Amino acid sequence: MGLNRFTWHGGGLAAARAQFGDGPWLDLSTGINPCPWPHAGAVAAAVDWQPLPDESALRGLEQAAAAHFGCAAAQVCAVPGTEIGLRLIGDLIGGTGCHAVPGYRTHVEMLRASVAVADPESADGASLVLANPNNPDGRLLTPPMLRELLHRRGDHGWLLLDEAFADAHPQASLAGDIADARRLVIFRSFGKFFGLAGLRLGFVLGPRALLAALRARLGAWPLCAAALAVGEAAYRDGTWIADTRDALQERAASLDAALCSKGYTVGGACPLFRLVRGVDGAALFDHLARQHILARPFADRPDWLRLGLPGDAARLARLVQALPSHG
Asked if 129 is part of the footprint of its own copies (rule: CB under 8 A), the reply reads: no
Of positions 1, 2, 24, 50, contacts its own copies by CB under 8 A = 50
Size of the site for its own copies (CB under 8 A): 56
Looking at 11, 102, 143, 278, which residue binds its own copies (CB under 8 A)?
11
Cβ 117 to its own copies, closest distance in Å? Answer: 23
In the bound state with its own copies, the residue whose beta carbon lies nearer, of 15 and 258, is 15
- Decide if 134 contacts 100 (C-beta within 8 A): yes
Give how far the C-alpha of residue 11 lies from the chain's centroid of Cα atoms, to the nearest Å: 13
Please report whether residue 65 would count as binding its own copies according to CB under 8 A.
no
Q: Does 51 bind its own copies (CB under 8 A)?
A: yes
Name the minimum Å distance from CB 41 to its own copies: 7
Residue 55 interacting with its own copies (CB under 8 A): yes
**Is residue 54 involved in binding its own copies (CB under 8 A)?**
yes
Contact call for residue 247 and its own copies (CB under 8 A): no
With a CB cutoff of 8 Å and minimum separation 6, the contacts of 299 are 3, 4, 7
Could you say which of 7, 26, 28, 30 contacts its own copies (CB under 8 A)? 30
306 lies in the site for its own copies, by CB under 8 A: no
> Do residues 20 and 289 lie in contact, with contact meaning Cβ atoms separated by under 8 Å?
yes
Based on the shown chain and the rule CB under 8 A, indicate whether residue 200 belongs to the binding site for its own copies. Answer: yes
Q: Pick the closest to residue 170 from 233, 214, 231, 235 (CA basis).
A: 235
Which among 13-21, 68-76, 130-138, 175-183 is the span making contact with its own copies, rule CB under 8 A? Answer: 13-21
Query: Which residue, among 14, 6, 19, has the nearest Cα to 296 in the 3D structure?
Result: 6
Cα first-last separation, the chain: 30
CA gyration radius, the chain: 20
Work out how close the CB of 47 gets to its own copies at its nearest, in angstroms, rounded to a whole number.
7
Q: Cα separation of 88 and 177, whole Å?
A: 22
Q: Are 163 and 184 in contact (CB under 8 A)?
A: no
Q: Which of residues 25 and 169 has its CB atom nearest to its own copies in the complex?
A: 25
Answer for which of 95, 109, 112, 176 binds its own copies (CB under 8 A) is 109
φ, ψ for residue 115, nearest 5 deg: -100, 130
Please tell me whether residue 88 binds its own copies under the rule CB under 8 A.
Answer: yes
> Does 45 engage in binding with its own copies (CB under 8 A)?
yes
Cα(262)–Cα(247) distance, integer angstroms: 23
- For its own copies, the binding residue among 195, 207, 231, 268 (CB under 8 A) is 195
Q: Is 196 in the site for its own copies (CB under 8 A)?
A: yes
As beta bridge partners, residue 117 has 100
Which of residues 4, 13, 21, 243 is near its own copies by CB under 8 A? 13
DSSP designation for 128: E
Per CB under 8 A, which region of 67-75, 154-162, 191-199, 260-268 contacts its own copies? 191-199
| DSSP H helical ranges for the chain | 4-8, 13-20, 40-45, 55-69, 82-93, 105-108, 143-151, 208-218, 225-235, 238-261, 281-289, 313-322
Which positions lie near its own copies, rule CB under 8 A?
A: 9-15, 27, 30, 32, 34, 36, 40-41, 44-45, 47-56, 80-81, 83-84, 86-88, 91, 106, 109, 191, 195-200, 216-227, 230
